[in-house]
Structure 1
Amino acid sequence: MRALHDLVVAGQVDPTELVKTPLPGVIADSWRRSLGRGVDPDRQGPRSATDDVLEILRRDNPLTAAMPMIRRLLVDDATDSGFMVAVTDARGTLLWVEGHRRAIRKAEDMNFLPGADWSERSAGTNAPGTALVLGREVQIRRWEHFSRVAQPWSCTAAPVLDPTTGVVLGAIDLTGHSSAATPQTLALVRATADAVGKYIALQRLTEAPTDPVIDDVGARLTVLGAERATWTARDAAGVMRTRTLAPRHADILVLLTRHPEGLSADHLAVLLDSEDLDVVTVRAEVTRLRRAIGARYVGSKPYRLLEPVTSDLDVVLRFLEKGDVGTALDHYAGPLLPHSTAPGIVRLRVESRSTVHGAAVAAADPELLARLARVSAF
């Protein structure tokens, strides 16, 4: 594995050929993303937030309230086993690193410290960063890491999802020697992340009043800030399920939420691609989208939403319309579909970002401006 990594980062193996190697598919895909984003495999550690920014990140993240639970379920045993437990926000910034003291001191050499950006876009393939990209648990063993400085370690991580909204709240990671990436640790970390998500949702229900702006909805679409968009809706049994959307499907759903009157195949093609996108391709993508989320949600002639779908962008804009800039910023996790190049999405991204920034500036509140700066920086 180490020899293959050396060849890949040296440019002697075409990234598209990794599928022909023994490299696991999840790792091969992540290495390709790391190469495409220009991650330096020899950098001594990712960038870090200042202490002031870290304090804001911790204060504003719902995982803060769950830290006693995380310590009880995971950190105490990890400390005895020589492991570290890291908790990140939704963008991959480490909020806490706790556990075995010697392991923590050793990890300082790769800047695995609170405030450091361990998103995949910053540090390459790593368990918490890659779990946030995939929206599911992942294990990374030693030389599967893209960054050489991380290759002495093995790790297991799982994202924490709000089971009510499907929003990614952050990730929980277990890092240490080779036994940190076993089926047993995978089950433990996954169960902890699931328990934490449910705890936060229950806490919100018992402590916060219901707001019809965000609660009186059907399916939910999360498209702000995260690496991948998610779709949350009830299945046939009435259980809320969350799934990660293909990038093109996320583009289509956002465009349909902003065009309740519907879009023709030709109009949708123009909004999805600046080149002449074949309408046959558009129809095929919509067919695949229906298969992914359920045919009942998307109608045709014109393409339109048949049931209520609320995105986190909708929530932000509605609170801004009410003049509640603070609550809007609570839900503003970053720019709309940051990796999308679809012309219609790019225009909406610029417009929505300008609207949020303008509202925060007009409020002339230093606290709101600081929160906006934090979202923009990460």
Structure 2
Amino acid sequence: MTQEPAPQRMRAEVAASWERSAAAGVEVEQGSAPLTVDLSALHGHREAHPLARVLPLLDDVLGREVRDCGAVMALADAEGTLLWVSGTTDRLRHAERIGFVEGSNWDERLAGTNAPGLALATGRDAFITREEHFRESVRTWSCAATPIHDPGTSQLLGVLDVTGGDQLVVPQTMAMVRAAARLAEAELARHLPPPVHERPSGLRLLLELLGHNEALLTIDDGRGRLNRLRLSRRHSEIVALLASSPAGLTGDELAVLLYEEDGGTSTLRAELNRLRGLLGEELLASRPYRLTAPIAGDWLAVEAQLAAGDLRAAMKGYGGPVLPRSSAPGVVRLREGLAASLRQALLRSGAPELMSAWTRSGWGRDDYDMWVAQRAAVPAGAPMRALVEGQIARLDRELA
């Protein structure tokens, strides 16, 4: 790959994005972003997406201003696919030249450094000016983007973006895009179901492990009050193991699953005492050790969706490996078991868009077998074919 020198005084977050783009095999000379959602499937995908509800609001508060200044507004999903692109006919025609069209994917690992892709990668506001773009074809444009989250679950729904010329390179642009996104979230919040006042008493737990090095634990008291905790690395491992063993574990069993070597029993007792102090006596029982409240977990949902044959939902819910930095034997087994089940289902699926979600991820980027399966599933003339073959060639070189 021929790569031009990066712009002088490049911002650190932009330099990191360039590195990710290059590592993913994006070419500086690549003309356009790939189409990852076929136009025949795009209509249904948009209708089912939560952001469809706020599109009219965004067009009213931002779209008209954007068109007046000769720019385009885009709304992408959490995978980076542009669901809606609006602007004047002339500007949309110009945007088509770089593949900035509905159904194209602007994840930075497919399209190189750009504002929507950077916002997805970092979860923060992103502003990319002309020469900060990784691909040459995009360097006449500047763009500003910000994430939009589900106000009920905090889940990332997508990204709001404004793309145009030099007139966008002012502080007011980012403020305008951010304000529109917050209005959209407020509108989504208006449609949340009202709180239920008569609910069964009793505590419930929601445990989030996927893609998190430290677990997120939400304690619901059954009356609408939530306590959200970020657990330490060791407490994350303990809670994950107990949540996966509803009948409970003895101290010896837990120690075997938790420590790579013998001798952690006294340390484990101290950790359990600290965890009980954090959760409360009523949530962590002993003899055997067990969690006493009903548990819902993101990895459990993925397991259930796989068992039901709903691979699309399983992929959407899979935010990454279970506690990826943990070396606890029981957690490693849990992590590898779920990843292997999901991976095998993908390999058997023949669905290139689902395989693409895997190979675009940090954990699946170097999965040679998945790239080969994806190549077999992508038609010879499809825009994605060249990207897939390029990645297979990269791995052939590296693995040789």
TM-score range, shorter-chain basis?
0.5 to 0.7
In 2 relative to 1, CA 373–43 (structure 1 residues): closer, same or farther, beyond 3 Å? Answer: closer
Q: Secondary structure at the match of 2:54?
A: helix
The corresponding residue for 1:191 is: 179
Separation of aligned partners in 1, 2:313 and 2:196: 15
In 2 relative to 1, CA 241–33 (structure 1 residues): closer, same or farther, beyond 3 Å? Answer: farther
Separation of aligned partners in 1, 2:294 and 2:107: 33
Q: Secondary structure at the match of 2:83?
A: strand
The amino acid across from 2:19 in the alignment is: R
Where do residues 82-121 of structure 1 align in structure 2 (5 Å cutoff)? 82-121=70-109
The answer to whether the 8 A contact 2:346-2:354 is kept is: no
The amino acid across from 1:36 in the alignment is: A
Q: Secondary structure at the match of 1:96?
A: strand
The answer to whether the 8 A contact 2:204-2:294 is kept is: yes
The corresponding residue for 1:170 is: 158
In 2 relative to 1, CA 330–39 (structure 1 residues): closer, same or farther, beyond 3 Å? Answer: same
1:145-203: CA deviation from partner (whole Å, max 9, x where unpaired): 11221111111111111122111111110111123243212122112222222322432
In 2 relative to 1, CA 107–259 (structure 1 residues): closer, same or farther, beyond 3 Å? Answer: farther
The amino acid across from 2:17 in the alignment is: S
1:314-351: CA deviation from partner (whole Å, max 9, x where unpaired): 33445777x6x77x955751545169697542331222
The amino acid across from 2:165 in the alignment is: H
The corresponding residue for 1:31 is: 18
User: Out of 269, 284, 301, which is 1:315 matched to?
Assistant: 301
The corresponding residue for 1:22 is: 9
The answer to whether the 8 A contact 2:298-2:317 is kept is: no
The answer to whether the 8 A contact 2:218-2:226 is kept is: yes
Where do residues 280-291 of structure 1 align in structure 2 (5 Å cutoff)? none
Shift of residue 255, structure 1, vs aligned partner: 6.7
The corresponding residue for 2:48 is: 60
Separation of aligned partners in 2, 1:100 and 1:173: 16
TM-score relative to the length of structure 2:
0.62
The corresponding residue for 1:139 is: 127
Separation of aligned partners in 2, 1:249 and 1:105: 54
Separation of aligned partners in 1, 2:81 and 2:212: 13
Instruction: Determine which structure has the larger helix proportion and give its number.
Output: 1
In 2 relative to 1, CA 96–200 (structure 1 residues): closer, same or farther, beyond 3 Å? Answer: same
1:255-276: CA deviation from partner (whole Å, max 9, x where unpaired): 7754675896874576xxxxx9
Shift of residue 305, structure 1, vs aligned partner: 8.2
The corresponding residue for 1:346 is: 336
The amino acid across from 2:162 in the alignment is: L
The amino acid across from 1:90 in the alignment is: A
Separation of aligned partners in 1, 2:29 and 2:235: 35
In 2 relative to 1, CA 38–230 (structure 1 residues): closer, same or farther, beyond 3 Å? Answer: farther
The answer to whether the 8 A contact 1:110-1:150 is kept is: yes
Where do residues 204-223 of structure 1 align in structure 2 (5 Å cutoff)? 204-205=192-193, 221=208, 223=210
Tell which structure's C-alpha radius of gyration is larger: 2
Q: Secondary structure at the match of 1:111?
A: coil
Shift of residue 64, structure 1, vs aligned partner: 1.2
Q: Secondary structure at the match of 1:175?
A: strand
The amino acid across from 1:313 in the alignment is: W
Separation of aligned partners in 1, 2:53 and 2:299: 25
In 2 relative to 1, CA 303–239 (structure 1 residues): closer, same or farther, beyond 3 Å? Answer: same
Separation of aligned partners in 2, 1:243 and 1:31: 34
The corresponding residue for 1:13 is: none
TM-score relative to the length of structure 1:
0.66
Separation of aligned partners in 2, 1:242 and 1:189: 29
1:113-134: CA deviation from partner (whole Å, max 9, x where unpaired): 0000111111121111111111
Q: Secondary structure at the match of 1:45?
A: coil
In 2 relative to 1, CA 67–34 (structure 1 residues): closer, same or farther, beyond 3 Å? Answer: same
In 2 relative to 1, CA 265–74 (structure 1 residues): closer, same or farther, beyond 3 Å? Answer: farther
Separation of aligned partners in 2, 1:34 and 1:152: 19
The corresponding residue for 2:365 is: none
The amino acid across from 1:314 in the alignment is: L
The corresponding residue for 1:149 is: 137
Gaps of 5+ in 1: 10-20, 271-275, 359-368
The corresponding residue for 2:5 is: 7
The answer to whether the 8 A contact 1:97-1:113 is kept is: yes
What is the percentage of aligned positions where both structures have the same residue?
29
| Residue 331 of structure 2 is aligned to residue 333 of structure 1 | no
In 2 relative to 1, CA 320–111 (structure 1 residues): closer, same or farther, beyond 3 Å? Answer: closer
Shift of residue 62, structure 1, vs aligned partner: 0.8
The amino acid across from 2:137 in the alignment is: V
The answer to whether the 8 A contact 1:162-1:198 is kept is: no
Separation of aligned partners in 2, 1:188 and 1:80: 14
Q: Secondary structure at the match of 1:169?
A: strand
Q: Secondary structure at the match of 2:104?
A: coil
The amino acid across from 1:7 in the alignment is: P
The answer to whether the 8 A contact 1:161-1:194 is kept is: no
The amino acid across from 1:337 in the alignment is: G
The corresponding residue for 1:18 is: none
Separation of aligned partners in 1, 2:175 and 2:289: 41
Shift of residue 38, structure 1, vs aligned partner: 1.9
Separation of aligned partners in 2, 1:309 and 1:151: 49
The answer to whether the 8 A contact 2:213-2:325 is kept is: no
Q: Secondary structure at the match of 1:26?
A: helix
Shift of residue 23, structure 1, vs aligned partner: 1.9
Instruction: Indicate the larger mover: 113-122 or 348-357.
Output: 348-357
Instruction: Indicate the larger mover: 303-312 or 99-108.
Output: 303-312
